[in-house]
Structure 1
Amino acid sequence: MSHLLLPLIQEFLADLVNCGLAKSTISDYRCTLHNFTRLFCGPVSEINAGILRRYLASVGGSPNNRARHFSNLKNFLNWCYRFEYITVNPICKLETPRCHAYPPRPIPTAHLELIADAIKQAEPRVRLLFTLLLETGMRIRETLSIRFNDIDLSPGEEKIIVRGKGDRLRAIPLVPGLLSLELLREKVNKYDPDQIYLFPQPGDVSQPLSYKDAGILWRQLQKQTGTRYRIHQLRHSCATHLLNSGVSIEAIQKLLGHKKLSTTCRYAQLEHSVLRREMACHLRRQKEGEAGVP
């Protein structure tokens, strides 16, 4: 990394930490800035639109990936401008790359049933982990970071407090009828006082199960069922199931911890049969209203 930019980048990343941004977000900024310094090794005051254009042209992957790099650089340069390291932000001269809106990616019902059956037959730790993901739509990192003191199983108040993106807290309700609630009660009844996390790292109960090891458990399930999906698609599947079961999109937004409703809409996919049913109900209500039916 360029010695000229290193101090600024370190200060910028330190400010992101102080703002409470997620570790994965800070890591993404760090990766973008490291890559940028491979192209440009001068002082920040000499960064211009041409240099930025060349860097963005070198970024591979999808248009969304290029847009992400653009956003990271823009925020870094905005920070430099705010602290008067530069007098103008050169990235403002460039057009913002357009992102492609991808449709929801729930796991197809037939494959989801195979995976759900495999989860039910798995050993207790795996069963609880993936049942929670499937029934609550939590992010995998949120689930792995659950501590025992985040769990409240008081009758009528059952919930888990999770730390989402930006270290924002939200409550995940656990209503009677959820298998994950039953499994959680069994786990809490066997609680070891030395255990901090609900899913501890094997050999070190003071640390949560790593994302890498959770991925290994997921791939074992995939191999067993002959399917190939990402863990995150369980979140999409949960949102889609809730939407098609009549849960409001606003309630799903709150459950998933999205700041914007538009983000939730990218997770939940309304099935065609449900859409037809809703349209039929609307027309029936309209006809009843015209006929004066109470």
Structure 2
Amino acid sequence: MLKDVNDSLKLFIEYLQIEKNCSKYTIEHYHHDICGFIMFMSEQSIASISEVQYSDARLYLTNLFERKLARKTIARRISSLRSFYKFLLREELIQDNPFALVSIPKIEKRLPEFFYEEELEQLFKSCETVTPIGQRNKALLELLYATGIRVSECCQIRIKDLDFSLSTILVHGKGSKDRYVPFGKQANVALKQYIQNGRLELLTNKQSHDVLFVNYRGGPLTERGVRTVLNSMFEKSTLNGKIHPHMLRHSFATHLLNNGADMRSVQELLGHAFLSSTQVYTHVSNEYLRKTYMNHHPRA
């Protein structure tokens, strides 16, 4: 990487961290996307970021399509570069934004995958709570579905974040935004059993950390570990198909809306910055109603 590129990228990352208060995950995406373009610049013998023209931006877009990347990935990369150059323009490090007029490809809208309430009941029934691992798994499943929190948020939860008297949890969300989310009776019971019994047994090395969910060695459970746990539970159930942690988040939001919750409340519970992010679940609910109608109405 050339020096002016290095310096510009460093400034932009600091801007994302300090001014925009972006999450670590978001910053990693920006960094990855911009570094990908810097490699393209090197291949095209473009010596400086200020030398990039609209034609170069178009050529890069064509290059992404030729590599058969998903439209969503291409759209994100172009959006990242547009933001990067917009920042450089604001700082007067360049004179124009070559990505300003590059059209982002339309993304095929997919409805979020979710479980029906009957399917989740089968999953919960397959949970054993005799062993420490079983108690942890049941508490993990109950909490993810009861709160709709992200896996990254779940792995950050500490014992002190739980308030059993109010049945609420302090969630440390994206962009360092905290929120309180309630959880129900089933999650309350499962969490208490796990904390008072299973978790203590798993902390074999008498580790002093207060991270809520731990692995079989007593260390903090990672995001990858959560996925492994859920896959194992799913395989032991009678359900077919696949599971990923976000399906529980999608199920949480969809079931709330199906049962009459208002969208603003669901937005707050999910920790969405924009209502548009939550509106996708109305489409899921409408599709659910449509299928119910088609399957059950005598003249459908």
Same fold (TM over 0.5): yes
**Distance across 2 between alignment mates of 1:274 and 1:245:** 16
- Output aligned runs, 1:114-193, within 5 Å: 114-119=122-127, 123-154=134-165, 157-175=166-184, 178-189=185-196
| Equivalent in the alignment of 2:289 | 272
> Shift of the alpha carbon at 1:215?
1.8
Deviations 1:103-136 (A, max 9, x none): 2321245543433323455711111112111121
Q: 1:47 aligns with which of 41, 47, 52?
A: 52
| Equivalent in the alignment of 2:234 | 222
| Equivalent in the alignment of 1:32 | 33
Q: 2:62 aligns with which of 54, 57, 61?
A: 57
Q: 2:114 aligns with which of 86, 106, 116?
A: 106
> Shift of the alpha carbon at 1:102?
2.0
8 Å CA contact 1:105–1:267 kept in 2: the answer is no
| Equivalent in the alignment of 1:212 | 224
Name the amino acid aligned to 1:184.
Answer: L
> Shift of the alpha carbon at 1:88?
1.3
Change (3 A) 1:57 1:224: farther
SS at match of 1:199: coil
Runs of 5+ consecutive residues of structure 1 not aligned to the other structure: 277-294
Q: Name whichever of 248-257 and 184-193 sits farther off.
A: 184-193
Q: 1:76 aligns with which of 81, 84, 90?
A: 84
Name the amino acid aligned to 2:247.
Answer: Q
Change (3 A) 1:227 1:114: farther
Runs of 5+ consecutive residues of structure 2 not aligned to the other structure: 201-206, 294-300
- For these two proteins, the number of residue pairs brought into alignment is 270
SS at match of 2:100: helix
SS at match of 1:135: helix
> Shift of the alpha carbon at 1:8?
1.6
8 Å CA contact 2:158–2:210 kept in 1: the answer is yes
SS at match of 1:161: strand
| Equivalent in the alignment of 2:213 | 199
**Distance across 1 between alignment mates of 2:216 and 2:123:** 24
> Shift of the alpha carbon at 1:238?
1.2
Cα RMSD (Å) of the superposition?
Answer: 2.5
Change (3 A) 1:158 1:111: closer
Name the amino acid aligned to 1:180.
Answer: A
| Equivalent in the alignment of 2:204 | none
8 Å CA contact 2:143–2:183 kept in 1: the answer is no
**Distance across 2 between alignment mates of 1:58 and 1:204:** 47
- Output aligned runs, 1:232-243, within 5 Å: 232-243=246-257
> Shift of the alpha carbon at 1:273?
7.0
Deviations 1:204-237 (A, max 9, x none): 64xx321122222122223323431221111111
Identity %: 27
SS at match of 2:126: helix
**Distance across 1 between alignment mates of 2:277 and 2:30:** 21
| Equivalent in the alignment of 2:265 | 251
SS at match of 1:55: helix
SS at match of 1:220: helix
Name the amino acid aligned to 1:182.
Answer: V
SS at match of 2:170: strand
| Equivalent in the alignment of 1:93 | 101
Q: Name whichever of 242-251 and 2-11 sits farther off.
A: 2-11
